[in-house]
C-alpha cells in the first residue's frame, strides 16, 4: 500500500510540519483575539498583507528577520483598525472583519502592482533556510520532521508555548480570558476591557501577518496573488476545532497539515490517476467543515465572543 509508505516517510512529516507552520501562527493570532472576545475575520486579508509586506521588505534589501518584523507591524496596523471599529465602537465583527479582509487584500495587491509594475513573473528573494538542530534531528522520522525546518517554524512552535503560558499562567492571560468570558468582571476589577481587547486584536493580527509572511519567506520565495487561498478561514475552523486552547489548536493544525500533505502525495499515486486532482484539493476545505461539525457540540465557546462591551451600559 502506497499510503503506508507515505506515512512512514520523513519527508512527508517534514512537509506536514512545514504546511502547518503558517496555520499555527495565524490560528494562535485568531485564538488570542477570540479568547478576548473578538472574532477577527480580517485574518485572510491580514495574512495576505503579511505575506506581501515581509517579502517586499526583504526584496527591498532588509534582512529576513527585519522582514518578519515588517510583516508583523503591517498586520498590527490592520489589527488596530479592526480593533478600533469593533471594540470601542462595538460594530459588527462580521462586517468589519470582512471589510478588513477586503481592504487588506486589495491594499497588498495595490502596493505590489505599484512597487513592481513591470514584472510578469514574480521576482524571488532568498528565503529562510532549513536549520538542522544538532542531535535532535537524528531521531528517526520525527527528527527530520520537527528539527530540520526553517527558523520560522521553530518560532511558530515557540509562539504556541508562549501563548499558552501567557493565557494560563499570567495575570495578563487571566484578564484576557475574563474579557472574553464576562467583560463586566474585568471592568469591575478596575481593568479596561477596551485596552485588553484592542491589545489582543492588535497582537493577534500581528501573528496572523507572520503566518502570511511564512508563505513568502519560508515556504516559497516570491509573492503571488491568491497565495493565501483560504488559509485564514481554515484557521478560524482550527481555533474552533482546538476548543480555543493553544495546544489543541496546534494539534489541529498539524493534523490538518498532515491530511493536506497526504493529499498532495496521493495525487502522485495510482489513486491520483483515477480521481481528478480537484477532489484532492477540496479535501482541506471539507475537512475544515467536518472539524467544525465534530467540535460544535463539545467546545466551550468564550461566553462573550462577538458581544461588544459598552462601558457603564445599564
Q: Closest separation between CB of residue 143 and another protein, Å?
A: 33
Q: Are 311 and 193 in contact (CB under 8 A)?
A: yes
Q: Closest separation between CB of residue 276 and another protein, Å?
A: 5
For 303, counting Cβ atoms within 10 Å of its Cβ (0-12 exposed, 13-18 middle, 19+ buried), the class is exposed
User: What does the alpha-carbon distance between residue 207 and residue 266 come to, in Å, rounded to a whole number?
Assistant: 32
Q: Closest separation between CB of residue 114 and another protein, Å?
A: 5
Residues that bind another protein (CB under 8 A): 41, 81, 85, 88-92, 94-96, 98-100, 102-103, 105-107, 109-110, 113-114, 117, 169-172, 174-175, 177-178, 181-182, 184-192, 229-230, 233-234, 236-237, 240, 276, 278-279, 281-282, 285-286, 288-289, 292-293, 296-297, 300, 302-303, 310-312, 314
Residue-level length of the chain: 314
If the CB atoms of residues 14 and 236 are measured against another protein, the closer one turns out to be 236
Q: Closest separation between CB of residue 237 and another protein, Å?
A: 5
Q: Closest separation between CB of residue 31 and another protein, Å?
A: 15
Q: Closest separation between CB of residue 35 and another protein, Å?
A: 11
If the CB atoms of residues 7 and 292 are measured against another protein, the closer one turns out to be 292
If the CB atoms of residues 216 and 263 are measured against another protein, the closer one turns out to be 263
Q: Closest separation between CB of residue 270 and another protein, Å?
A: 19
As given in the structure block, the three cell numbers for residue 303 are: 461566553
Residue with cell 474552533: 240
If the CB atoms of residues 121 and 129 are measured against another protein, the closer one turns out to be 121
If the CB atoms of residues 48 and 70 are measured against another protein, the closer one turns out to be 48
Q: What number of other Cβ atoms are within 10 A of residue 172's Cβ?
A: 14
* Nearest one of 166, 211, 196, 238 to 33, comparing CA atoms: 196
For 169, counting Cβ atoms within 10 Å of its Cβ (0-12 exposed, 13-18 middle, 19+ buried), the class is exposed
If the CB atoms of residues 142 and 191 are measured against another protein, the closer one turns out to be 191
If the CB atoms of residues 32 and 64 are measured against another protein, the closer one turns out to be 32
Give every CB contact of residue 254 below 8 A, 6+ residues apart in sequence: 16, 17, 20
If the CB atoms of residues 129 and 278 are measured against another protein, the closer one turns out to be 278
Give the sign of the dihedral formed by CA 152, CA 13, CA 234, CA 33: negative
Q: Closest separation between CB of residue 184 and another protein, Å?
A: 5
Beta bridge partners of 149: 131
Q: Closest separation between CB of residue 85 and another protein, Å?
A: 6
For 89, counting Cβ atoms within 10 Å of its Cβ (0-12 exposed, 13-18 middle, 19+ buried), the class is exposed
> Three-class SS string for 55-81?
HHHHHCCCCHHHHHHHHHHHHHHHHHH
If the CB atoms of residues 14 and 176 are measured against another protein, the closer one turns out to be 176
Cα dist. 248→161, 206, 210, 245 in Å? 12, 21, 20, 5
Amino acid at each position: 500500500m502506497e499510503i503506508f509508505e507515505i506515512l512512514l516517510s520523513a519527508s512527508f512529516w517534514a512537509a506536514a510540519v512545514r504546511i502547518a507552520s503558517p496555520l499555527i501562527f495565524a490560528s494562535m493570532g485568531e485564538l488570542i483575539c477570540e479568547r478576548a472576545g473578538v472574532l477577527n475575520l480580517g485574518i485572510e486579508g491580514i495574512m495576505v498583507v503579511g505575506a506581501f509586506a515581509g517579502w517586499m521588505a526583504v526584496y527591498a534589501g532588509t534582512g529576513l528577520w527585519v522582514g518578519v518584523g515588517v510583516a508583523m507591524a503591517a498586520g498590527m496596523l490592520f489589527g488596530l483598525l479592526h480593533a478600533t471599529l469593533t471594540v470601542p465602537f462595538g460594530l459588527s465583527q462580521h462586517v468589519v472583519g470582512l471589510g478588513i479582509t477586503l481592504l487588506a487584500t486589495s491594499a497588498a495587491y495595490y502596493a505590489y502592482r505599484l512597487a513592481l509594475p513591470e514584472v510578469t513573473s514574480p521576482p524571488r528573494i532568498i528565503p529562510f533556510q532549513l536549520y538542522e538542530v544538532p542531535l535532535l534531528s537524528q531521531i528517526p522520522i520525527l527528527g527530520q520532521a520537527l528539527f530540520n525546518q526553517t527558523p520560522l517554524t521553530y518560532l511558530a512552535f515557540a509562539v504556541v508555548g508562549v501563548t499558552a503560558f501567557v493565557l494560563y499562567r499570567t495575570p495578563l492571560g487571566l484578564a484576557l480570558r475574563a474579557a472574553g468570558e464576562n467583560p463586566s468582571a474585568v471592568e469591575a476589577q478596575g481593568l479596561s476591557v477596551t485596552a485588553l481587547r484592542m491589545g489582543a486584536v492588535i497582537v493577534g493580527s500581528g501573528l496572523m501577518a507572520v503566518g502570511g509572511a511564512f508563505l513568502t519567506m519560508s515556504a516559497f520565495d516570491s509573492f503571488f496573488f491568491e497565495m493565501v487561498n483560504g488559509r485564514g478561514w481554515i484557521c478560524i475552523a482550527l481555533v474552533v476545532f482546538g476548543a480555543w486552547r493553544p495546544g489543541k489548536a496546534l494539534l489541529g493544525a498539524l493534523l490538518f497539515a498532515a491530511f493536506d500533505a497526504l493529499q498532495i502525495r496521493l495525487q502522485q499515486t495510482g489513486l491520483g490517476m483515477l480521481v481528478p486532482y480537484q477532489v484532492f484539493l477540496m479535501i482541506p476545505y471539507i475537512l475544515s467543515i467536518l472539524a467544525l461539525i465534530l467540535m460544535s457540540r463539545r467546545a466551550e465557546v468564550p461566553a462573550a465572543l462577538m458581544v461588544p462591551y459598552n462601558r457603564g451600559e445599564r
